[in-house]
Amino acid sequence: MNPSYLYHAFGVRHQECSKTEYKGNQNIHYIQTKSEELCCPECKSRKIIRSGSIYRDIRSVPVGHRETILRMKVQRIECKSCGCIRQEKIHFVTGKRSYTNKFARYVVDLSRIGTIKDVAQFLHVSWDTVKDIQKRYLQRHYGNPALSRLEYIGIDEFAVRKGHVYKTIVADLQTGQVVYVGEGKSASALDEFWKKIRKAGAVIKAVATDLSAAFMSSVRENAPNATLVFDHFHIVKLMNDTLDKLRRQAYHQETDLLKRKVLKGTRWLLLCNGEDIYDACHRNRLENALEMNAPLMKGYYLKESLREIWMQVDKEQAQRVLMKWVEQARDSKVPLLMKFANTMTAFRSGIIAWYDYHISTGKLEGINNKIKTMKRQAYGYRDDKFFELKILSLHDKNYAFVG
C-alpha cells in the first residue's frame, strides 16, 4: 500500500504495509516498522538487535463501510547502547489500547451527532470503548478548569438520583461554566474546591448561594473576604412555601365544604405574581379565598410585597424596606410568618448584599435542568467520574456530546 495513503488515512508514518486481506467486513493491513526507523524505545539508539516479534490487531478508521484492522508486527528490541529489552514504541497508538489515536478522534467526532449507543453500533465496538474514549477526551479538555481568574461564583446542590444522593456544583457566574463538582451537599463537599482555589491563587469576590448553612459556613471559613449574596429566587421560593403551608392549614381548618373547594383550587393563584393575574374571574376567586382566612390574607400581601426588597434604588433604602417587611410579618402574629420574619432577619446582610453584587444562582438553575435531561439520556451515569466530566463540559456547546 502507498505509504502516503497509510499516513493520511490512518496516521501511520513509520510503518510499511506488506499485504492486505479482505475478510468478511474487515480490511486487514499487515504492517511493520521500516527497518531504518526501528530504534530503542528508551534511548532512541539505532544500535539494536531484533529479538522476536508478536502481532497485535489495532482498530483504525473504517474505509468504504468496512472495518480497518492494522495487524502490526511488533518488534521486541534489545538495545546495545542502554541494554534494555523492550517492545518497540508505536506512535499512532496510546499505550496498550486496541485502537489508533485517529480512531479515537473519529469516535469523538461521531459523538457530537450520536449517542454512545449509536456510535458503538455504527462502528461495531463496545459501549464501554466509546465511553472510555469520550471520557479521556473530556478529562483532557475539561478535567482541570482554569480557576485563577475566578471572582464570582454560585454554589448549589442537585439530586443525582431519587432518594438522597446529592452533588454540589460551583459555577463561574461570569461565564456560566461549571468549575467544580463535589460529592454530597455538606460543607465538606466544597473542601476540594477551596484547595484548588488556593493553589490557583484566585481571589473570590462574591458568592451566590441558597440559604444552606453548610455552604455558608464553608464560604465564611475559606473565603472570609468574599461577600455572600443570598439568592433572591430561593428566598421568594421559601416565602411561597410558607404561603402554601398557610393555605393548607386554612383548608384543614375550614369546615364549610364549598369554601374548602375554593381554597383547594387557589394554589397557583396565590403563588403567581399578583400583577400577572389579568383574568377578572381569577381575581375574584383569589379575593374570595383571601377573605375567608385572615392568616392567608396576611401571608399573601407579605408575599406580594417581598419582592420590593430587590426593587429599591439603593442599599440603604432596601435595608429600610426589609426591616419594615419584617416588622409587618411579626405584627401579623401568624406563627409561620413570624418564623419567616426571623429567617429574613438572620439572613439580612446576605439578602441586602445583592445591592453590592447583582448575582444570583439563576445560572445554576439552568445548569441543573441540563443535568436532568442528561441523566435521562444516559441511564443514570453509573460512572461517577464520567458524569462529573460531562457536567464540567456542559457550557461548551460547540463540543457537546450527544447524551
DSSP per-residue codes, 133-199: HHHHHHHHHHSS---TT--EEEEEEEEEETTTEEEEEEEETTT--EEEEEESSSGGGGHHHHHHHHH
Nearer to Zn ion, 48 or 58 (CB): 48
Closest approach of Zn ion to the CB of residue 49, in Å: 11
Specify burial of residue 334 (Cβ count, 10 A radius: 0-12, 13-18, 19+).
buried
Q: Which of 16, 42, 78, 383 binds Zn ion (CB under 5 A)?
A: 42
Q: Which of 26, 27, 53, 81 binds Zn ion (CB under 5 A)?
A: 81
Query: If binding is defined by CB under 5 A, does position 78 make contact with Zn ion?
Result: no
Nearer to Zn ion, 79 or 341 (CB): 79
- Residues 305-324 within binding reach of Zn ion (CB under 5 A): none
Q: How far apart, in whole angstroms, are the C-alpha atoms of residue 164 and residue 158?
A: 10
Closest approach of Zn ion to the CB of residue 75, in Å: 14
Nearer to Zn ion, 42 or 132 (CB): 42
Q: Which of 13, 43, 63, 94 binds Zn ion (CB under 5 A)?
A: 43
Nearer to Zn ion, 72 or 79 (CB): 79
3-state class of 331 per DSSP?
helix
Q: Which stretch binds Zn ion (CB under 5 A): 33-41, 89-97, 104-112, 350-358?
A: 33-41
- Residues 209-228 within binding reach of Zn ion (CB under 5 A): none
Q: Which stretch binds Zn ion (CB under 5 A): 31-39, 41-49, 170-178, 253-261?
A: 41-49
Q: Residue 36 contacts by C-beta under 8 Å, 6 or more apart in sequence?
A: none
Q: Residue 320 contacts by C-beta under 8 Å, 6 or more apart in sequence?
A: none
Q: How far apart, in whole angstroms, are the C-alpha atoms of residue 85 and residue 82?
A: 9
Q: Which stretch binds Zn ion (CB under 5 A): 19-27, 75-83, 176-184, 356-364?
A: 75-83
Taking every pair of Cα atoms in the chain, the longest distance, rounded to a whole number of angstroms, is 100
Cell of 66: 468496512
Write the single-letter amino acid at 196. Answer: K
Question: Within a 10 A sphere around the Cβ of 54, how many other Cβ atoms?
Answer: 10
Pairing of the two strands 48-63 and 15-23: unpaired
CB-based contact 133:116 (threshold 8 Å)? no
Nearer to Zn ion, 42 or 183 (CB): 42
Closest approach of Zn ion to the CB of residue 40, in Å: 3
Q: Which stretch binds Zn ion (CB under 5 A): 67-75, 79-87, 210-218, 383-391?
A: 79-87
Tell me the site size for Zn ion, rule CB under 5 A. Answer: 7
Q: Which of 79, 123, 178, 318 binds Zn ion (CB under 5 A)?
A: 79
Query: If binding is defined by CB under 5 A, does position 45 make contact with Zn ion?
Result: yes
Q: Which stretch binds Zn ion (CB under 5 A): 39-47, 203-211, 288-296, 334-342?
A: 39-47
C-alpha closest to that of 326 among 296, 363, 291, 352: 352
Write the single-letter amino acid at 119. Answer: V
Query: If binding is defined by CB under 5 A, does position 39 make contact with Zn ion?
Result: no
Q: How far apart, in whole angstroms, are the C-alpha atoms of residue 340 and residue 303?
A: 11
Closest approach of Zn ion to the CB of residue 95, in Å: 20
Nearer to Zn ion, 43 or 165 (CB): 43
Binding site for Zn ion (CB under 5 A): 40, 42-43, 45, 79, 81-82
